[in-house]
Structure 1
């Protein structure tokens, strides 16, 4: 995986020779009712190379879904907009592209799987029609050829009797089948990048495992890169090469899966790790530790480190000034003023 860095002074991040996606200092703001604005994404940067999987994790309200919507140009027009930074897809700046140009990119170069397929699929059109319309738009196929492609994709994602299911409406499919149909639609034009926003949250454990296996299999076949957005670090261990941890709109830690799972340096990351149920007996009967409190509203961010009111390691230095991202090791970044002198108590470790 390529290096992920935040570069407020315009420095250059180490990257792969030919990254597909380069995001630098992304800032996304929303208007508030009183005429002001809040910054939901505050200086996020990362690179994504071909065939790589980058996981963006954090609690609800951390800014991870807003990051994905910013990349796709799907922010609500009346309230949200990208206010700073750069998003370059194979060298092409996405930030200020007209909507018509973004429509060409969505589906053809970047596909997206949303969290809840019932709100993302059109209830008045069959699944096959919805997939075929995307293929017609981006590939210029005839209606018959596009429907054949839709059936082929439904078969590829493991839906039985795909030609019959193509004639079904979303409500006629199970939750697992609807999610598979969403994946089929997202991949129908063979995009270079797939953004998966909480794609398994609404599914039971068995179907969730099937979806993860399916996505990895399709990634191997098609060679696409994946941005996997989730609040569940347990899922991340199964799918990701590198991890970006977000909190209150900022990146607070990033690194390889090994670095994040075995040697996290940010107390927030450690808290997320301690909240994951383990099946290997590592907790030895200990109760899972919850992170006290909640992510602060964007209108009420604390002074200094945004995590300090919830952090057991916070001192006056944490409240005095906002910490910056620092390199804690090769490719391992952490936003914590005290990361050098604290030891995180990780459950199940010696």
Structure 2
């Protein structure tokens, strides 16, 4: 990463929030009817043109948050039990499914983690993109197919006419991911949710996909909610960061604040686990966070991170710490943050 942290050129800081998530609680029924909160009181805002990264280990609630925004939770076991999700002031939580279906793809697009499981294997790429276009516009079949070809060209796929007639298995992983991006952007959404969009790709293709997303964001002016565990990607892509742990937000801030002066020990642990140039001497080892994210059915009392935290004290177990909002706009969930000096180095 360069010395200058990423900043979206199209971010419109003076405008009201485009997407507002407030006190979101998403529950799943597990086992013999036990109600488990996979997302517990999550709040954040996204402004037009900016990139918000949601980070954390597997099991932290990142993907469930994105599926909640899209209202794509499994119907029989998952539900939004509390909170609001407002797009331009309109609450999506209580919308009838028909209205929500019109918003998906049209106002909010989504790139899923693994395109091979998200694309239909029995339909061509062009047909699948055209179908999305026809669902959200008045274009006919021929015009929608032409739009699909234009989108494939926009995302840098060579020979888009030929590629539009291919099936997903006939494309490489990078090509399939580009096709997913083309589908997500075909109706020019104002918000794009990208759930680990580069995880299954090699580093060269990852860089190409990230460049593509930045260029399309600048061209289309959309906001991006980028969900990832890769902090190198966060440093390169994001304006602001939401750190999640065991279903809760534990810290928020600008990307520069999070990387140079984390306030929460969990965030600091994530930062210390990033490989850095010049730190590959024989005796140097990457620092890791001991243990694992706790099961949501067996959360520890008090601070949910305390069983893995090197700074935990008795008071950390006494009560669950609130998310404290600071005058600077940052927020942190830790009773000891004022006492700790967790300053870390930005990646080179």
TM-score by length of 1: 0.93
Structure 1 residues 69-108: Cα deviation after superposition (integer angstroms, max 9, x where no partner): 0000100001000000001111111001111111100000
- Aligned partner of 2:141 in structure 1 is 143
Contact 1:109 1:190 in 2 (8 A): yes
- Please, which of 82, 103, 106 is the counterpart of residue 104 of structure 2? 106
What is the distance in 1 between the residues matched to 2:253 and 2:14? Answer: 15
Identify unmatched segments of 5+ residues in structure 1: 1-14
Partner of 1:116: 114
Q: Deviation per CA, 1:249-297, whole angstroms, max 9, x where unpaired?
A: 0000000001000000100001100111123x26766311111000000
Counterpart position of 2:324: 326
> 1:1-350 counterparts in 2 under 5 A?
17-279=15-277, 281=278, 286-328=284-326, 330-344=328-342, 346=344
2:260–2:343 Cα contact (<8 Å) kept: no
CA deviation after TM superposition for structure 1 residue 244, in Å: 0.2
Contact preservation (8 Å) 1:29, 1:83: yes
Structure 1 Cα separation of the partners of residues 345 and 88 of structure 2? 41
C-alpha distance in 2, partners of 1:282/1:336?
30
1:345 deviates by 6.5
Whether contact under 8 Å (2:259, 2:344) holds in the other structure is: no
Q: Which has the higher contact order (CA 8 A, sep 6+)?
A: 2
1:243–1:257 CA contact under 8 A, matched in 2: yes
Task: Note the C-alpha offset of 1:342.
Answer: 1.5
Tell me how many residue pairs correspond in the alignment: 334
Deviation at 1:18, TM superposition (A): 2.1
Confirm or deny: 8 A CA contact 1:282 1:347 kept in the other structure.
no
- Greater mean deviation of Cα atoms: 321-330 or 229-238: 321-330
Q: 1:22-69 CA deviation, whole Å, 9 max, x = no partner?
A: 111000000012112100000011111110100000000000100000
CA RMSD of aligned residues (A): 1.5
Please say which of residues 321-330 and 109-118 is displaced more in the overlay: 321-330
> How far apart, in 2, do the equivalents of 1:282 and 1:259 lie?
22
